[in-house]
Amino acid sequence: MASPQAAAIDHLFDSFLAALAADPGMSLEGLRDMLEKCGDLASDPGGVDYLDVDVEGTPCLWAVPHGCAEDRVMIALHGGGCVTGSRFSHRKLFAHIAKAVGCRALIVDYQRAPEHTHPAQVNESVKVYAWLLGQGIKPGHIVSVGDSAGGNLCTTLVLALRDRGLPLPAAVMPLSPWYDMEATGESFERNAGVDRLVSREMSLNMSSMFLGNASPHDPLANVLFADFTGYPPTYIQVGGYEALVDDALRGAARMQAAGVECTCEVFPEMQHVFQFMAGRAPEADEAIGKLAAWVKPKLGLR
């Protein structure tokens, strides 16, 4: 049974849907402002410094836990359908993960749709990764992490790196990844009564804005069409109540079929990106602890 603290994300998502029902024509800026509130769910982890950095025109935010291994880096890609979300909405979530791992996180504030459509976000993520290499960070000391649309981007970033002949990071950690641009997963029906936020209509609206004129079968937008040959170890986390459970499970199955070391863990009764409740709900803290325990050896950390 979910903890009482885990109800916080239910209440927040319910407030989002109520606001959308009250204002069906909500502006894009209104939607973006509303979804920034996801960042309010986490506690401040403490002992983490935040430093703004411009990466060749892309605003980013370093989250630097005190005493961390500064030569190890998580490149962190925020969710929000590639339409909403920012380095600020996800600052505390990624800082909690970085602190648990004992490394720095570079939170990327990539250009959003519909102003910038696919593949702008993938290309921008590749640019930031290449910048990290140029700063002397070894590829084996980098991992990619992201939630929802960021879970897609942290996955497709690595596919793009491989296709361009760049060295790959040590590991990939997608949280509640949004992989299927056509929303074909059966879990949209199966979990329709328990997912408090995501619906097929919402997913298709977001993918339409994100894709622009791109194909929903482009493997750098929809990894269910990707070849994962030579892909790094991957650990996917997803909530059991999510409409996107099948995105995660099918993505993992595709990786495993290509011989990738991939684990997909489903957390019972949890909502979309339940890790947002870091420091406040035990389920979020447990999940982050598992991420850290899994990835530390891959980064050469104890």
Positions annotated as catalytic residues are 148, 242, 272
Residue type, 170: A
Q: What does residue 88 show for φ and ψ, rounded to 5 degrees?
A: -85, -40
- What's the rounded Cα separation, in Å, for the pair 158 and 43? 30
Query: Which residues have CB under 8 Å from 253's CB, separation 6+?
Result: none
Q: What is the three-class DSSP state of 116?
A: coil
Using alpha carbons, list the distances in angstroms from residue 116 to 4, 147, 229. Answer: 40, 19, 29
DSSP designation for 207: H
- What's the rounded Cα separation, in Å, for the pair 38 and 176? 14
Residue 71 structure tokens = 């030569």
Q: What does residue 25 show for φ and ψ, rounded to 5 degrees?
A: -100, 25
